Amino acid sequence: MIKLKDGFSGERALVVPRLIVKIMEEDPLVSMLHITDIGYYPKALHHFRERMLPINQYVFIYCIDGAGRYRIGEHEFPVSANQYFILPAGIPHAYAADDDNPWTIYWIHFKGILAPYYAKGASHPMDIQPERHSRISNRMNVFEEIFNTLRSGYSNENLRYVSSLFHYYLGSLRYIQQYRKANTDATDDGDMTRTAIHFMKENMEKHITLQNMADHVGYSPSHFSMLFKKQTGHAPLAYFNLLKIQQACFMLDSTDMKVNQICYKVGIEDAYYFSRLFSKIMGMSPGEYRKTKKG
């Protein structure tokens, strides 16, 4: 039995055709690791799937906000924001968003000779907490590159490139400390403002408060706000909104995502509020901005 609420505002999903999956399974490189389905569900209220008949794919789910639960065989686990898990192939499973605080998730179905090695040990919730040397935003960009490459077509070059990216994506999770340490020079531990801005970028898709920011850098909200504004010229929340609109501009320039999809990607659930904020900062609506760039 399979159940799924049809349609979530801002969702994106892609299913690779079976013919292409067969081609990937026969390719000496791509057969090692390949994606069959990929998507993003923001605030997925009533999201529920149950597969009593097991499938031959591994299912990766990364919860960036909200909460949910999942079951593998007879074992059930809760999952919350900043956690991921991988459902093993060949075992009945089920997963669902929390009724009161539905999750926002990135998800990927994958197969391949090396798939079991990447999935090993990840059947229980794995933490990806934002911290000073985390590179969550980089990983999100890799996901987008995978998704956009698949959307652009199924040439052999595209499929091999996606497979290579996916190795890197899963490696950044399985070897998370190495992934983070590789970029430690990019953050100055003594720079409170840089630390705060890094925290904002790592939480771009979420609603975070002034208190959250102040707690992260270890200051009171008032003292943090005063220091941040002195160094940047902007209040912390106003600066966070600037980063969100900057990211929105990038997505309007480089993708064909709709405005109601982009607003979720920058942590704003209300498309009308997003458009008003965008117009206030950029002097034009998102639609007008996209037209000027295409012109």
Say yes or no: 151 and 222 in one domain: no
Say yes or no: 145 and 203 in one domain: no
Say yes or no: 254 and 152 in one domain: no
Mean pLDDT score across all residues of the chain: 89
Indicate the range of 100-104, 166-170, 204-208 predicted with least confidence.
204-208
Q: Does residue 5 lie within any of the structural domains?
A: no
Q: Which of 119, 153, 181 is the last residue of a domain?
A: 181
Contact call for residues 137 and 201 (beta carbons, < 8 A)? yes
Which pLDDT score is estimated for 188? Answer: 43
Query: What's the pLDDT tens digit per position in 228-260?
Result: 998 888 999 999 999 999 999 988 888 888 998
Domain count for the chain, please give it.
2
How much of the chain exceeds pLDDT 90, in percent? 62
Say yes or no: 195 and 120 in one domain: no
Q: Which of 181, 214, 248 is the last residue of a domain?
A: 181
Q: Which of 1, 5, 16 is nearest to 109 (CA)?
A: 16
Q: Which of 228, 170, 177, 231 is nearest to 35 (CA)?
A: 170
Domain extent for 118: 12-181
Q: Which of 153, 181, 209 is the last residue of a domain?
A: 181
Say yes or no: 145 and 17 in one domain: yes
Say yes or no: 27 and 171 in one domain: yes
Confidence (pTM): 0.76
Which pLDDT score is estimated for 186? Answer: 45
Query: What's the pLDDT tens digit per position in 178-200?
Result: 888 876 654 443 488 888 998 99
Please tell me the distance from the alpha carbon of residue 162 to that of residue 159, in angstroms, as a whole number. 5
Say yes or no: 108 and 18 in one domain: yes
Calculate mean pLDDT across residues 70-89: 95
Say yes or no: 53 and 88 in one domain: yes
Q: Is 70 exceeded by the pLDDT of residue 119?
A: yes
Calculate mean pLDDT across residues 29-48: 94
Say yes or no: 156 and 193 in one domain: no
CB atoms within 10 A of CB 22: 10
Say yes or no: 39 and 171 in one domain: yes
